[in-house]
Amino acid sequence: MALLEVNQLTKIYEGKVARTALDHLQFSVEEGEFVGIMGPSGSGKTTLLNVVATIDEPTAGSVSLRGHDPHALNKEEMALFRRRELGFVFQQFNLLDTLTVEENIALPLLLDGIPVQEAEQRLQQVMQKLSLSANEGQFPYELSGGQMQRTAIARAIIHHPALLLADEPTGNLDSKSAGDVMSLISALNAEERTTVLMATHDAVAASYCSRVIFVKDGKFYNEIYKGDSRQSFFQSIIDMLSLLGGDIRDLSFVRP
């Protein structure tokens, strides 16, 4: 059974003008995969992640995680599902300004009632893994963008989620920090077998994935798998993006 199944997923935002953000989107993700989602601005990438995350409701179709539909849960169960099974990383980091690095990272464990001693142990492990040990007492405003995003990733994975969802995680980073963040996510995927679903405009970031799914107008357009080399995968991604059309910022001409 696939870890994640997206079945004919449709999302229409009603309003003065109804917008179809997702249109019978269909794909699945196996346990341990690292899947990128690419497509022009407005093609439904964020909507997809939000529906998978139960932040948003589908209009039609369904999502299934390990065979269960998280949208069928009641409110409390849904909150637990998000807290236990999912990790989120956003473009804007979304750290809490008044908490230190270690408090931000440990927050999901404390909310979940994990004993302090166990939380402390996991905190030290994850901070070491993400090279944040020297920053533990600092506040977000005292960090670089890369350090902020590593803190956000630490917070997203400290509870060993079944699925890590990332929406443009490198969108606010310079290319060096973006490379560090991508190496890190790909190491987490390889070493801990954390399944990752990541939306990105950045072809270099996407070249770290094991597969990239392209969406257009909320529909599945195509997918490509990484072969032996990240360099040639990068080139295939660029070629697919130019076929796909869309805005020029999709075309990153920086070599990986």
DSSP states of 142-158 as a string?
A: GS-HHHHHHHHHHHHHT
Comparison of 85 and 168: residue with beta carbon closer to ligand ATP: 168
46 touches Mg ion by CB under 5 A = yes
Of these partners, Mg ion, ligand ATP, none, which one is at the site of residue 70 (CB under 5 to 8 Å by kind)?
none
Comparison of 127 and 203: residue with beta carbon closer to ligand ATP: 203
Of these partners, ligand ATP, Mg ion, none, which one is at the site of residue 115 (CB under 5 to 8 Å by kind)?
none
DSSP states of 109-127 as a string?
A: HHHTT--HHHHHHHHHHHH
C-alpha atoms less than 13 angstroms from C-alpha of 141 in its C-beta half-sphere: 2
Q: How far apart are the first and last CA of the chain?
A: 34
- Contact, 238 vs 212, CB < 8 A? no
Selected from 21, 86, 119, 198, the binder of ligand ATP by CB under 6 A is 21
Nearest-approach distance from CB 91 to ligand ATP, in angstroms: 8
225 touches ligand ATP by CB under 6 A = no
54 touches Mg ion by CB under 5 A = no
Binding residues for ligand ATP restricted to 39-58, rule: CB under 6 A: 39, 41-47
Of 34-42, 126-134, 156-164, 222-230: span binding ligand ATP (CB under 6 A): 34-42
Under 8 Å CB-to-CB from 248, ≥6 apart: which residues?
none
Cα separation, 135 vs 127, whole angstroms: 9
- Site of interaction with ligand ATP (CB under 6 A): 13, 15, 19, 21, 39, 41-47
